[in-house]
Structure 1
Amino acid sequence: MDVDGLSVRVVALWNDWQLRSMILLSLWLQIFLTIAGGRRKYTAGIWLGTLVWLAYTSADPLATLSLGTITRNQGGSNCNTKNESITPAFWSSMLLVHLGGPYTFTAYAVEDNELWSRHVLQLLTQLSMSFYASLRSWWSMDPLRYLAIPIFIAGIMKYGERVLVLWLASSNKFRESANEERKLLREQLDNKIPRDDFDNMDATRCDKVLGFDRIRPEAKHLHEAHFLFRILKLLYGDYLVTYPTHMSSYNILKRKSAAKAFELIGVELGFMFDVLFTKAMTGVGWRPRLFLRSINFLLSVSALLAFWIMARNSKAYSEIDITISYLLLGGAVVLDIYSVIWMLLSDWTMLWLSKKREPLAESICQFIYSSRWLSSLIHKKRWKESMNQHAIHKHIEQSVPMGNLISKGHNFRRWKEDVDCYLKELIFERLLDMRSRYSRQDDQRMILAERGDHALRRNGCSEKFRWSVVDIDFHESFLLWHIATWFCHVGHTESPHVKVSRSLASYMLYLRSDMPFMLPKEMGEAKYMSTSVEATFQVEEGQTEGSVLSDGRNLASALDLLETEDGWSDETKWEMISQVWVEMLTFAAIHCGWKEHAKALSQGGELLTFVAVLMSHLGISEQCIYK
């Protein structure tokens, strides 16, 4: 076997396909990020999250490496009569377009928006490299050099747009935008309407004040959600919300059912997701956005048509490079079409169209809402609508459907449960009850501190169970209640209250295990891990001694005694347990920072975030100013 000859052929093959393979991989990453960018708003999963992260972290370095390869090889000794060096110079402009990123994906995490200044430097660097590669081939007589100009302009516009979006979503700029929003809300509400009018404002008066009375009924929820989003910007920017402002959001929500309230918050958080993670560019008017999309699309189409005319009868380029160039240009056109459709069917466009009283805008709205297919695209899924679950008990495998299992390890079992209508009703009922008691400043502090003790007081067993919710820190409290809930759950039928209690118990443990930044920081990480491992080991081994497990079993036994000694029914006991868990959920939600809630939006959203936003819009927050 000719080893030397084989190695020479392998090296030659690699030299021929090194740049081509990187170019094609860069295109594939752009396609994947474009599709995944919209889906991650409502889809959560280990595999999708891992693939998105890998694609996002690989896309820019791969395009940069490809540009460097083109720059290094351009004008070198490998040039031949087929003029193959011209095509890679043309590809350098396409790579600049790839560096601009897709319209549906600008940042993987909130922290990426703070790196906008780094992208400015990267833009200047990559722009120089692409210009250099094009300049080295400019002195040839090949007409393809002119074709690189429109693509080069499109790349500058697309990358510049990406930098602009990252800058607008950065914390300092976002806070400036929130401050402007605060001034506008004061002009709209505080300075024009007496504060007392908000106390007993009916629905008709509320719609008139907020300008919803002239909006077509099908689009009214978009305008309500956008108004709530304006308030959410204040909360995210750490500003206080005035009394008229949060009373307006309260008047919007209090008349809705739990399902409609959650749906409205889903649209609102979709607006926030677009601002933080996509090129929605809400800080810029719709005309510049439409202009940018149109120019980019026209440049891509014109370049594709011109290349087809130049290359169809040309023998100057290799067939492989022509095919790759067609894929790059065709892919750019398809992605631009996808982004235009994504923009036209977005909530932002429907919000803008429904504001217009012009005949054309009315006709477009009527056509979209009357079309079953287009209407289904508009009313799309807003978030993952499920709760990830963790548990440390062996017997849960018997009660979890195999289709819901996500993963299974030695210490923890993980699966997911849907956030059903019954759970939404329990949460919304709890929040309205909190709001009805939320009047004086002293009441506010007590209500915000409730984490199960109010449910115990209401059921007359505060003294019996106070030690498990008030006398210990929050993390240890929900771990004890988690263990107790699962021990009480053994042998019971899956009634609504049992299901809610079990789901919330496992959801809170999932948050502490996988997303601890969303929970109050009371218990140290080392203590929590040792406590969790201890409980896991004891349950798995069937031990009955030990502080955590024994306390959890004692709590379960005390809850069971409510039936045997106090005459409670099984349903009443589980109703109280579910109320305790809902209170723990609301306590965790309002004590989580807004930056942490924003992080969860990039992973399909969390129930905890929905609860926190609902609480703030109902006025149950330290950021809401009362009389």
Structure 2
Amino acid sequence: MKSNMGIHKVSETVERLWNGWELRMVMLPSLFLQIVLIIFGRRRKYTAGFWLGTLVWLAYLSADWVATFSLGILAQKLGDSETNCINSNRGLIPAFWAPVLLVHLGGPDTITAYSMEDNELWLRHLLVLGSQVAVAFYAFSRSWWSKDPLLFVAIPIFVAGIIKYGERNLVLRSASSEQFRSSVYSEMNELRRKFGEFSNSELFGMTAERLTERLGLRDIIPEAKFLHEAKLFFQMFRVLFADLVLADSNHLATHIILIDKKATEAFKLIEVEMGFMYDVLYTKVTRVCSSRIIFRAISFLCFVSALLAFSLGMSRNNHAYLTTEITISYFLLVGAIIFEIYSVVLVLFSDWAMLWLSGQKKPFFNSVYQTISRFLSFLHSDKRWARSMAQHNLIKSQLSENSLTCISLKKLLGKSHILSWEDISDDLKHLIFQHLLDKRTRYSYQMRYHDPGKNDLHEILSERGDQVIGREGCLEKIGGSVKSSDFNDSLLTWHIATDICYHDDVRKKGHPDTKMSISLSNYMVYLLRDCPFLLPRGIGKERYTQTCSDVNKHSELLRNITSGRNNSWDSYNTILQLEDSSGKVSVLCAGFKLAKSLQSLETQDGWENKRKWEMISQVWVEMLTYAASHCGWKEHAQALTRGGELLTHVCLLMAHLGLSEQCLTN
């Protein structure tokens, strides 16, 4: 009996504490979630990783829910007390808490959408905007009867909240597929006006210097010229992203600009271009315009005036609220002002603002541009994407998985497949860029008739290693490894062969120069395992699963191979006999056969080890370009939220060189 009474008293105490503190306990988490989104929402643009993505995902989903939940509680609580500021029972809740939650629902500038699908839900957000404004106004009207002495503080915050939430809805709408496509038509008209005066014959003989002069970029300060070139590239990216086509003059112009660049400079242009697209699709940080400046100024002034009014009101009516409510109120108001200042700083340091400053072509604006550039260089904050590629080695992954018994959170969420990250070196950029330029030289825009092997774009885009192998005279020996109808078959076969050749060469020769080949091989298998939507359609998942099963069956032998304990290819006979044992879906046997053929290039054909690995790296680059040209733009856009992918860079470089079927040739 006493036990039941004790439990009853405890429950009453907990209920009383919750009723008194529930609103305070949800207002502060709402503010905290805004801080998380502001700090980390934009970092995913240039930071790849599981934990950051998970944190942003949880904060994004929770922020709206917590703000809506808080607004519902607030609507119930406001006005319940009939006390006024003269009474000794100070139970008032500040009326401006309701519109502050409306500001939180508007979200920070650093993230408006978590994924592409969120943009398509702009109509739902419009409905939520109307309903939440109604709820906030209802809560505000209820506080009217409570005789809150600082009721007027809510008015400017109400204005700022409607601006912030309305701006978010407009950004979501503009990034939705239908509205985006509609807006691109005006982009196409601008490009048509810009290049309408050029003829193809004129462009064929034009230099990059002459082109930039004709485009009006001559007066741009040299250090900012790349931003304006990137803007031109971005205008074309928007057209491609909308599944429209580019005229000859457009991609011929970008080709002229690119062939005059070093590989690192070309990749930097693509970085800026991808950053522009990320901002348009997922944030409020877009091009500088007068309307945005006006709305930003109004919001800032609203928050400052509300803070000043509240501070003055507290000096005269400090008995109106409890100390807890006063403290939370200051947190909310000061936090809102800091968020606005941070948003302004973010825009000022963005590529959009730098583009606008340098575009004014005036000494004062150029000086501001150079000052900001030096400051950013000092802070080393010029990073625009992850500049790394995930690595997943099939054999290593399976062997290590068999030796581990622990279950991690990543494994439970199916994200344990990234073994490491590899920085994208300048040498790899040069290899890829030179390969694309070589492809471009084999495709002549001046020839308007079908010329197989030279002018057939479809044939060039269909190359996935066979062109490199044929150039080296090895089609008869290993050409079949890249001619499978399923690209994923060739990819996994070459991945296993590359890995086996590497371990065999390490055993025989020490450590050969294989870094680019191995990193590209592991990167492509990471795409197959974690991002199959970025690769051509096929049965890659089934092939991967059954190949893993075969690796598990022969784990002991494979451990000997990868550790360098095998001394002869005779040890592989067991695996080479697997051809009929596990069906045709597993590629373990095919990979070993290809590895044996590749190694025989040295032992039988007299190749140098360096030549063999150069061919392997070229094959992987050609597979990379094949995958890049057979992936939809929506998938590339989704990859921007994970730090960006090397595959997207390659795809954009190909498009700007005219190596895309969306580029018109007649």
Shorter-chain TM range is over 0.9
| CA RMSD after TM alignment | 2.3
**What 5-or-longer segments of structure 2 have no aligned partner?**
401-408, 558-573, 580-586
**3-state secondary structure, aligned to 2:120:** helix
Cα deviation, residue 330, structure 1: 0.8
Corresponding residue for 1:30?
Answer: 34
Corresponding residue for 2:210?
Answer: 205
Corresponding residue for 1:499?
Answer: 515
Out of 201-210 and 499-508, give the one that drifted further: 201-210
**3-state secondary structure, aligned to 2:67:** helix
Corresponding residue for 2:118?
Answer: 112
Please tell me whether residue 533 in structure 1 is matched to residue 535 in structure 2. Answer: no
Corresponding residue for 1:546?
Answer: 578
Deviation by residue 1:67-124 (Cα, 9 ceiling, x = unmatched): 1111122323696846766435321110000000001110001111111110000000
**3-state secondary structure, aligned to 1:520:** coil
Please tell me whether residue 14 in structure 1 is matched to residue 21 in structure 2. Answer: no
Cα deviation, residue 551, structure 1: 1.2
Cα deviation, residue 55, structure 1: 0.4
Please tell me whether residue 157 in structure 1 is matched to residue 163 in structure 2. Answer: yes
- State the distance in 2 between where 1:103 and 1:496 align: 48
Corresponding residue for 1:457?
Answer: 470
Deviation by residue 1:214-251 (Cα, 9 ceiling, x = unmatched): 10111111001001000101100111111111011001
Task: Identify if the C-alpha distance between structure 1 residues 571 and 529 changes in structure 2 by more than 3 Å, giving closer, same or farther.
Answer: closer
Out of 296-305 and 266-275, give the one that drifted further: 296-305
**3-state secondary structure, aligned to 1:317:** coil
- State the distance in 1 between where 2:308 and 2:102 align: 20
- State the distance in 1 between where 2:418 and 2:555 align: 12
State the one-letter code of the partner of 1:336.
E
Corresponding residue for 2:240?
Answer: 235
Once the two structures are superposed, the pairs formed by residues 64-75 of structure 1 within 5 Å of their partners are 64-75=68-79
Q: Decide which of 519, 526, 531 is 1:515's aligned counterpart.
A: 531
Q: Decide which of 59, 62, 65 is 2:66's aligned counterpart.
A: 62
- State the distance in 2 between where 1:223 and 1:130 align: 44
**3-state secondary structure, aligned to 1:393:** helix
Corresponding residue for 1:470?
Answer: 483
State the one-letter code of the partner of 2:427.
Y
Once the two structures are superposed, the pairs formed by residues 368-407 of structure 1 within 5 Å of their partners are 368-369=372-373, 372-376=374-378, 380-394=382-396
Are the equivalent residues in 1 in contact too, given 2:394–2:525 (CA < 8 A)?
Answer: no
**3-state secondary structure, aligned to 1:602:** helix
Out of 323-332 and 13-22, give the one that drifted further: 13-22
Corresponding residue for 1:262?
Answer: 267
Please tell me whether residue 363 in structure 1 is matched to residue 367 in structure 2. Answer: yes
Cα deviation, residue 360, structure 1: 3.5
**What 5-or-longer segments of structure 1 have no aligned partner?**
399-405
Corresponding residue for 1:306?
Answer: 309
Corresponding residue for 1:403?
Answer: none
Task: Identify if the C-alpha distance between structure 1 residues 199 and 378 changes in structure 2 by more than 3 Å, giving closer, same or farther.
Answer: farther
- State the distance in 2 between where 1:232 and 1:70 align: 46
Once the two structures are superposed, the pairs formed by residues 328-367 of structure 1 within 5 Å of their partners are 328-367=332-371
- State the distance in 1 between where 2:612 and 2:257 align: 34
- State the distance in 2 between where 1:75 and 1:407 align: 47
Are the equivalent residues in 2 in contact too, given 1:165–1:281 (CA < 8 A)?
Answer: no
State the one-letter code of the partner of 2:220.
I
Are the equivalent residues in 1 in contact too, given 2:106–2:167 (CA < 8 A)?
Answer: yes
- State the distance in 2 between where 1:220 and 1:121 align: 43
- State the distance in 2 between where 1:413 and 1:230 align: 34
Out of 273-282 and 597-606, give the one that drifted further: 273-282
- State the distance in 2 between where 1:549 and 1:595 align: 33
- State the distance in 1 between where 2:13 and 2:343 align: 42
**3-state secondary structure, aligned to 2:96:** helix
Corresponding residue for 2:279?
Answer: 274
Are the equivalent residues in 2 in contact too, given 1:387–1:607 (CA < 8 A)?
Answer: yes
State the one-letter code of the partner of 1:216.
I
Are the equivalent residues in 1 in contact too, given 2:81–2:92 (CA < 8 A)?
Answer: no
**3-state secondary structure, aligned to 2:145:** coil
Out of 237-246 and 83-92, give the one that drifted further: 83-92
Please tell me whether residue 616 in structure 1 is matched to residue 655 in structure 2. Answer: yes
**3-state secondary structure, aligned to 2:366:** helix
Deviation by residue 1:434-457 (Cα, 9 ceiling, x = unmatched): 000012555211110000001101
- State the distance in 2 between where 1:395 and 1:524 align: 17
Out of 488-497 and 267-276, give the one that drifted further: 488-497
Corresponding residue for 1:187?
Answer: 193
**3-state secondary structure, aligned to 1:40:** helix
State the one-letter code of the partner of 1:385.
R
**3-state secondary structure, aligned to 1:102:** coil
State the one-letter code of the partner of 2:629.
I
State the one-letter code of the partner of 1:220.
K
Task: Give the structure with higher Rg (CA).
Answer: 2
- State the distance in 1 between where 2:91 and 2:415 align: 56
- State the distance in 2 between where 1:487 and 1:410 align: 26
Corresponding residue for 1:555?
Answer: 594
Task: Identify if the C-alpha distance between structure 1 residues 261 and 95 changes in structure 2 by more than 3 Å, giving closer, same or farther.
Answer: same
Are the equivalent residues in 2 in contact too, given 1:83–1:316 (CA < 8 A)?
Answer: no
Please tell me whether residue 437 in structure 1 is matched to residue 442 in structure 2. Answer: yes
State the one-letter code of the partner of 1:517.
F
Out of 117-126 and 1-10, give the one that drifted further: 1-10
- State the distance in 2 between where 1:535 and 1:479 align: 13
- State the distance in 1 between where 2:235 and 2:142 align: 50
- State the distance in 2 between where 1:407 and 1:151 align: 42
Please tell me whether residue 480 in structure 1 is matched to residue 486 in structure 2. Answer: no
- State the distance in 2 between where 1:608 and 1:413 align: 17
Task: Identify if the C-alpha distance between structure 1 residues 519 and 82 changes in structure 2 by more than 3 Å, giving closer, same or farther.
Answer: farther
Cα deviation, residue 364, structure 1: 2.0
Are the equivalent residues in 2 in contact too, given 1:394–1:539 (CA < 8 A)?
Answer: no
- State the distance in 2 between where 1:76 and 1:204 align: 72
Are the equivalent residues in 1 in contact too, given 2:399–2:555 (CA < 8 A)?
Answer: no
Out of 306-315 and 429-438, give the one that drifted further: 306-315
**Percentage identity across paired residues of the two chains:** 50
Task: Identify if the C-alpha distance between structure 1 residues 83 and 258 changes in structure 2 by more than 3 Å, giving closer, same or farther.
Answer: farther
Are the equivalent residues in 2 in contact too, given 1:94–1:151 (CA < 8 A)?
Answer: yes
Corresponding residue for 1:583?
Answer: 622
Corresponding residue for 1:125?
Answer: 131
- State the distance in 1 between where 2:290 and 2:457 align: 45
Out of 351-360 and 471-480, give the one that drifted further: 351-360
Q: Decide which of 645, 652, 658 is 1:606's aligned counterpart.
A: 645
Cα deviation, residue 501, structure 1: 1.0
- State the distance in 2 between where 1:458 and 1:552 align: 22
**3-state secondary structure, aligned to 2:390:** strand
Deviation by residue 1:278-324 (Cα, 9 ceiling, x = unmatched): 00244xx6101111111111111111121111123511211011101
Corresponding residue for 1:318?
Answer: 322
Corresponding residue for 1:103?
Answer: 109
Are the equivalent residues in 2 in contact too, given 1:345–1:378 (CA < 8 A)?
Answer: no
Cα deviation, residue 546, structure 1: 2.8
